[in-house]
Structures are given as structure tokens and as C-alpha cells.
Amino acid sequence: MAERLILGQVLAFEGDPGALGLGAARHWTRGGVLVRDGRIAAFGDGADLRGRHPGAEVTDHRDCLIVPGFIDAHAHYPQTGIIASWGKRLIDWLNTYTFPEEARFGDAHYAAEVAGRYLDLILANGTTSVASFATIHPESVDAFFEAARERGMRVFAGKTCMDRNAPEDLRDTAQSAYDDSRALLETWHGVDRLSYVITPRFSPTSTPEQLQALGALWAEHPDCLMQTHLSEQVDEIAWVKDLYPAARDYLDTYEAHGLLGANGLYGHAIHLEPREVDRLAEVGAAVVHCPTSNTFIGSGLFDMGLAERMRVGLATDTGGGSSFSMLRSMAAAYEIGQLRGRVLHPAELLWRATGGSAEALGMADRIGRIAEGMEADLCVLDLCSTPAIAQRAARAEDVWEALFPTIMMGDDRAVAQVYVAGQAV
């Protein structure tokens, strides 16, 4: 049985350091992670592991820091080509950039090209798992899952469903949304490391009939995730109130149609009403913080205090977000936290991008932590990747001071190596 021993500094979490304190983290300056059959077989002191496994193939990353691979809990891979496009507000941005680009994904070859490019870009930035919206085209889902399967990645995706308030060539129907989603789910869900996600874009682009159909599909497959958007911008919320006058609030447009539950994943969730917070917490749903998107499109400031009541993941929201890098998302989350009066420790930032996102995706038993039996998705960070980072890290008195400059100023140059299921990418 072939074994690989990956040496370097190792940082492992037993749980959320925001809730449990820094005692939830363990750090080895000369550590190691032993990989067997794509999973973590052991971790800890590097010399001890080397002595106990003399036949293991050794890769020594020296002073680089080994952490779990980053997990992006909300993205739109079809928007890869339009990232960093100048825009105004959300609806303008969708109409100007997003919808014209998404219309191209009925072409299977184009979808495959972008899917491969996107996954290679996020891998280069240390992200090993992602939950992505596709487009209304089944071809866009097939292309994404095929590209991820070739790379051995654990990913989550679904056909985006819209039957109103979108260009005619980007609309399906309540029935076709159900039929296409069900067929894709039955084809892909649970194959290798792939998970299908039921995906209404958001309430403004779905009729009540379509939301009801997707709620019915979710009831038939409750083990699946359901992803959508919630309370991203104030003008969006006003639009929802006009479209759903009987709804108590934005969340109620989903709840009334069977789209609120423990496996629900609600992106943004910035401008929540007290009832919405209470209901999300009561059902055990997860929300996803998309900080670079929220600042880029001017949506607002997410309240990380929600993590005290519910699961909170972290995401890039490509291409509304302005970077493929989860390091940049961590940095933006820190900055938004400062503006909200909540200072996020480097440990909590890293946790949100790894274990926190894994919890949001219902995969905390498989990815997001360095622990025995977990899938060996790893990111190796060079903590001195640029002169500016190196000179600050040189003054560090502990691992957190050494890591924080990379969180705030790092990019793909900081990613020294990525491992997917134990295999170097």
C-alpha cells in the first residue's frame, strides 16, 4: 500500500476557533501529513511519522505551511470570463454582463473550455472544492462535473433555474426545470466526488410555480443541497416584495415553496430580518459570506455574528466577486468584520475558508480539516511568497502572525503546492 509523507509546518483544527478558542488549533513547526489511498492516515510530528513509516514517499515543503485545501461555498463558474467587469448595482450587472455570457453555455464545447479553465484557476489559488451555479443549460452542468471528475475534485453544482425576468434564451419553465434537474441529479449525484445541488437562481427569476416544482424535487431528494441567493441588496429585497406581495419577507418566498431546510445554502444573507435569522437558525440552514462580491457590487456588510447561531461558509462568488482566491476572500472578510466592529482572528478566517465552508456544505466529515480519515485535499502555503510578505512574516512571534500577512496580501504566488485526494496538482 503506497504511502506519501508530506512534510512542512502543519496547522490542524479540531473545530471552530471562533467558538472554541485558539485551543481548537494545533501547530507543528516540523510536522507532517501521511496520505494513504487518497485519505489522511496520520498527522503530527514529522520526525515521528518518518520513523514510523520509513517506506513512505517523502515530499518536504520545509517552512511552508500545510493547511486543508480551501473550500469555496458559493461561485458561478460560467462567469469566469466576465470577472472584474465594471458595473453598477446587482440587476444592472446581471443584465449587462452575466446573462449575455451565460447564454453561451448551451454550446457544450464552450462550457467545457470554461469549466476546465475555471477549475485550473481555483486550484492554482489553493481551492480544492467549490459549490457552483451552472446555467440553465444541462450541458453546463455536464461540462463542470466532467472537468472536476478528470481532476479528482470534490465539487457541488447544479443547473440554474429561471423562468421569468431573464432573457428569453435563458428561461426554462417550471416543468423543464424539474425534469432537467432531476435527470442531472440522477446522472451525477454521488458519482466519484460529485454532488448535485438543486439551484433556483433567486426568487425574482423564478415564478412561484417553478419554486414549488424545485421544492418538490428537493423533498424527493432531501440528501441533496439546495443553493440560492438571499437578501443580497436592498433594491433586490424591494423587488422581491413587489413580486411576492403575500410573503412575510424574502426568506418566506423560499419557505412557502418547500425551499427552506437544513441542507439549504443561502448566499449573501446580508440584510436579514429578525424572523429570517430565527428561521434559518431553527431549521439548521447555512448561509455563505461572499465578501469581495459584496464590496465590489456595493451590496452591504455581512454580519459574522450569525456564526453564533448557524453554519457560515466563505466564498468568492466568482464573477461578482473580484478574485478567484480564497485568500482574498479571507482578507475582505477581515475588512468587513472591522467595519462591523467584529475583529476576526487569522484562525477564524482560515477556518471559514476550510472547515467552516465544509460544515456549510454538509461535508465536515470528509473535507475541510487535517484529521485521520479525511480526504487528503491540502494546500501548501509559502508564508514568504513576496518581499512585502516576507519582511512582515520575519517579525512574527507565532504562527498566526506569520500567516496573517499572507491572508491580507497573498495571492496565487503564495500557493506552493496543492494536493487533491493526496495527489500533487
Strands 127-133 vs 154-158: parallel, antiparallel or unpaired: parallel
In whole angstroms, how far apart are CA 266 and each of 131, 146, 222, 224, 350?
Answer: 12, 26, 16, 14, 21
Residue 262 near residue 218, CB atoms below 8 Å = no
CATH H-level superfamily of 3-68+369-424? Urease, subunit C, domain 1 (2.30.40.10)
* Residue type (1 letter), 12: A
pLDDT in tens, 281-305: 999 999 999 999 999 889 999 999 9
The residue ranges of every structural domain in the chain are 3-68+369-424, 70-360
Stretch 373-402: mean pLDDT: 98
User: What pLDDT, on the 0 to 100 scale, is given for residue 1?
Assistant: 62
The whole-number average pLDDT for the span 231-254 is: 97
Alpha-carbon distance of 288 to 316, in angstroms, equals 10
pLDDT given for residue 103 in this prediction: 94
Whole-number mean pLDDT of the chain?
Answer: 96
- Tens digit of each residue's pLDDT (9 = 90 or more) over 10-53: 999 999 999 999 999 999 999 999 999 999 999 999 999 999 99
- Whole-angstrom distance, CA of residue 364 vs CA of residue 269: 22
pLDDT digits (tens, 9 = 90+) for 152-183: 999 999 999 999 999 999 999 999 999 999 99
Q: What is the pTM of this model?
A: 0.98
Nearest partner of 257 among 206, 182, 205, judged by Cα: 206
Domain spanning 70-360, CATH architecture: Alpha-Beta Barrel (3.20)
The answer to whether the beta carbons of residues 49 and 42 sit under 8 Å apart is: yes
